[in-house]
Structure 1
């Protein structure tokens, strides 16, 4: 049976992996959001919005892209926050630091699942570019690795009792 000291390196590895992937999702999502703002619509001479204006319509991708990018950015920001809390927990590795690390990690995981759901819808609708495909893949992988991280820190806590 694994002891708590074998869970700490596993949690550290998953934390580092999640951090790198969340930063990549932030980079690609930031690019997509910037492109949507720059090329999404043109305001007329009278400063009126176009007739069919939608703030989540992206010039690349399909109808799910706006929702996907928006929720992926939110999930990635909260995911990076969970990494910061996780680093604090890994450094101290006590039961006092576990609740904050676990709660932020769980919130990041649920937001990642939400973004992954929009990624699945975007995959179903087919029209998207390589960067969006990369972000979809990262969010699908992150939904699993974030869950494994949560299980690793909880597993170590249950072994301490």
Structure 2
């Protein structure tokens, strides 16, 4: 069967991407939890501070809020794409390819968006080690997700 040689490559990339998406979503969840616990406290008069932002994060810089929110979304969608990809790898035929490919491309575009915000955060400077880890994982994940898409599309010559 044509494309059978790409199956181990696609499986390895799928597992790598799933693990990286779980790590990105976990670190993002930590950052959101910390922002909720250490964010602005509204006093008894219920007045918001002068420079209130609903996505204020006590660590990082001005881009951190957007970066973390989009990174969590990208991590969750990337994990969901791994589930659809697992179904495709299990059956490995042209009937399962469209669903796996479409959700992988959606996850990749969200990962690219989060990677762009990571680049902005790197440019702004002043961030902690966990945010730097999440930035690095997203930059690597953008490349490995693209390679995974190429691997499953390279096997599109397979017959049902």
| TM-score bucket of the superposed structures, by smaller chain | over 0.9
TM-score, normalised relative to structure 1: 0.95
Task: Tell me the equivalent position of 1:70.
Answer: 69
Task: Give, in whole Å, the separation in 1 of the partners of 2:157 and 2:65.
Answer: 41
Which deviations, in whole Å up to 9, do the C-alpha atoms of 1:67-86 show, x marking residues without a partner? Answer: 00000000001000000000
Contact 2:88 2:97 (8 Å CA) reproduced: yes
**8 Å contact from structure 2 (residues 93, 159) kept in 1:** no
Alignment of 1:55-94 (within 5 A): 55-94=54-93
Q: Are 1:44 and 2:43 counterparts?
A: yes
Q: Which runs of 5+ in 2 are unaligned?
A: none
Query: Contact (CA 8 Å) 1:7, 1:155: kept in 2 or not?
Result: yes
Q: What is the alpha-carbon distance in structure 2 between the residues aligned to residue 9 and residue 32 of structure 1?
A: 35
2: CA distance, partners of 1:158 / 1:59: 51
- 1:127 is aligned to 2:131: no
1:44-103: per-residue Cα shift (whole Å, max 9, x none)?
A: 112332222101111000000000000000000100000000000000001010000000
Q: CA RMSD in A?
A: 1.2
1:157 aligns to 2:156 (yes or no): yes
Residue-by-residue CA offset, 1:122-149 (whole Å, 9 max, x unaligned): 0001110000000000000000000000
Hey, what's the Cα distance between the residues in 2 that align with 1:5 and 1:159? 8
Gaps of 5+ in 1: none
